[in-house]
Amino acid sequence: MTLNTSRTRRPTIYDVAKSAGVSPSLVSLVLQNPSKVSEKRREAVRAAMSELGYRPSRAATTLASSQTKSIGLVIDDFRNLWFVDLLRGMESALSPHGYQVTLADSRPGENRITEAADGLLSMHVEGLVIAAEPSESMMAGTWVPAVVAGWRNGVPAGASLITNDDDGGGRMAADHLLGLGHTRIGHLSGSGGAAAHRREGFRSGITKAGVEHRIAGESQGTSEEDGYAAACWILDHHPDTTALFAANDTMALGALAAAKARGLSVPADLSVIGYDNSQLAKSRYLDITSVDNRSDVVGVDVANTLLARIQDPALEPERKLIEPALIVRGTTARVSG
C-alpha cells in the first residue's frame, strides 16, 4: 500500500484513495462518519493518510457537513493572561466532541469588539464566547448561541452568563489582608464589569470592618501600566498604606514596580494581592498571592453550556456563579510593627 507521491505538492483525497485501494467517496465517509465504514477499511484509509502525511481540509469538511465544529472566543487583551486557563478549560470540554476554539482579540472599544465578533461569525462558528465588554448590538440578527464569560457591564440579550463570584472574591481579598492586621489598605481598580464587582466586594469587606477604603483607577484600564499608576497615586497620597489589592495579577505586577521605585520591600513594608491566579502569579520568581477566579472551571461550564444550546436551541439562557479561592503566596504577610 505505497504510493510515490511527489513531496512538492500536498497529498489529496485521491492520493489517499489510491494508496488505500478504495474510492475517494469512501475516504470522505471515513473523515465525516467513520462508524459507517468497516474497521478494516477505516484502518487502511488511516494508514494511507499517515504514510502520505495527508491532513484533511477543515473547510471542505465544513462544506460537506454544514458544521464547522468551531467555537469563537472574543477576549479583550492578549497581554492579560487570565484567559489562558479559560481557554484550557473550554478545550478540555470541547475537544472530545470534535470542536476547536478560534480566538479573536478585540482590544478596548465598542467597534473593535463588534468587529472581532463579526469576524468570527463570518467564519460560521457554531457558538460564541464573549470574554470582553460586549457592545449592545454585537449579537443582533444572529441565532448563534452565546455565553458571556466573566462579569461584564452588560450581557447581550439571549446570552448566558458564566462567571466567577467576583464580589465574593473581593471580600476574600479584604478578609485576608484584615486577618493579617492591615488596616490601611489600598485597592487598584478599573472600569470593566469584573473590576467593578471585585471593587464592591472589597469595599463591603473593609467597610464592615470599619476600615477606610483607598481606591484608585476606577475609570482607567487594568493593564500593568494602569496598576503602576494607581499604586503610585495611593502610595504618594497615602504613604502609610501597608497593603494593596489589585483587580488582577497584571495590575499587581505594576504595584510591585511602584513599591520597588519607592524602596519598599514586599511583603515586609507592603503586602500585595492580585486576582485571577494567572501564570504571572504562579511564577516562582513573582510568587504573588492571588484570588483564583477558577477560569478553568468557568471554561468547562462555558463549553458545556454552549454544547447544550447547540444541541437544543430552545434552551433558555442561564446564569451561574463559580466560587473563587484564595491562593496565599509570598507577597502578603502580617503587618509589621
Distance CA 173, CA 291 (A): 7
Q: Is residue 253 included in any domain, yes or no?
A: yes
Q: Is the pLDDT of residue 80 over 50?
A: yes
Name which residue leads in pLDDT, 263 or 111: 263
CATH for 317: 3.40.50.2300
Residues 191 and 266 in one domain: yes
Q: Is residue 213 included in any domain, yes or no?
A: yes
Residues 125 and 186 in one domain: no
Q: Is residue 337 included in any domain, yes or no?
A: no
Residues 202 and 130 in one domain: no
Planar angle of CA 124, 128, 132, nearest 5 degrees: 135
Residues 136 and 242 in one domain: no
List of long-range contacts for 40-44, beta carbons under 8 Å, 24+ apart = 44/1, 44/20
pLDDT tier at 2, thresholds 50, 70, 90: very low
Q: Is residue 7 included in any domain, yes or no?
A: no
CB 114 within 8 A of CB 137: yes
Q: Is the pLDDT of residue 114 over 70?
A: yes
pTM score over 0.85: no
CB atoms near residue 26 (< 10 Å): 20
CB 189 within 8 A of CB 252: no
How much is the average pLDDT of 79-102? Answer: 91
Q: Quote the cell numbers at residue 173.
A: 481579598
The 3-class secondary structure across the chain, one letter per residue, is CCCCCCCCCCCCHHHHHHHHCCCHHHHHHHHHCHHHCCHHHHHHHHHHHHHHCCCCCHHHHHHHHCCCCEEEEEECCCCCCCHHHHHHHHHHHHHHHCCEEEEEECCCCHHHHHHHHHHHHHCCCCEEEEECCCCCCCCCCCCCCEEEECCCCCCCCCCEEEEECHHHHHHHHHHHHHHCCCCCEEEECCCCHHHHHHHHHHHHHHHHCCCCCEEECCCCCCCHHHHHHHHHHHHHHCCCCCEEEECCHHHHHHHHHHHHHCCCCCCCCCEEEEECCCHHHHCCCCCCEEEECCHHHHHHHHHHHHHHHHHCCCCCCCEEEECCEEECCCCCCCCCC
Q: Is the pLDDT of residue 141 over 90?
A: no
Residue type, 99: Y
Q: What is the mean pLDDT of the chain?
A: 89
Residues 212 and 156 in one domain: no
- Domain span holding position 38: 13-64
Asked whether the bond before 267 is cis by omega within 30 degrees of 0, the reply is yes
Per-residue buried b or exposed e for 48-83, using 16+ beta carbons within 10 Å of the residue's own CB: bbebbebeeeeeeeeeeeeebebbbbbbbbeebbbb
Residues 150 and 160 in one domain: yes
Q: Is residue 225 included in any domain, yes or no?
A: yes
The closest of 216, 173, 215, 164 to 193, measured between CA atoms, is 164
Distance CA 90, CA 87 (A): 5
Residues 38 and 89 in one domain: no
Q: Is residue 21 included in any domain, yes or no?
A: yes
Residues 184 and 286 in one domain: yes
* pLDDT score recorded for residue 279: 92
CB 267 within 8 A of CB 333: yes
Phi-psi region of 287 (alpha: psi -120 to 50; beta: other; left: phi over 0): left
Residues 157 and 203 in one domain: no
Q: Is the pLDDT of residue 19 over 50?
A: yes
Name which residue leads in pLDDT, 55 or 293: 293
Q: Is the pLDDT of residue 13 over 90?
A: no
Q: Which residues touch 118 (CB under 8 Å, ≥6 apart)?
A: 138
Q: Is residue 156 included in any domain, yes or no?
A: yes
The pLDDT tens digits of the residues spanning 199-231 come to: 999 999 999 999 988 999 999 999 999 999 999
Q: Is residue 104 included in any domain, yes or no?
A: yes
The closest of 299, 255, 298, 263 to 280, measured between CA atoms, is 255
The pLDDT tens digits of the residues spanning 43-75 come to: 999 999 888 888 776 555 554 555 778 999 998
Domain count, the chain: 3
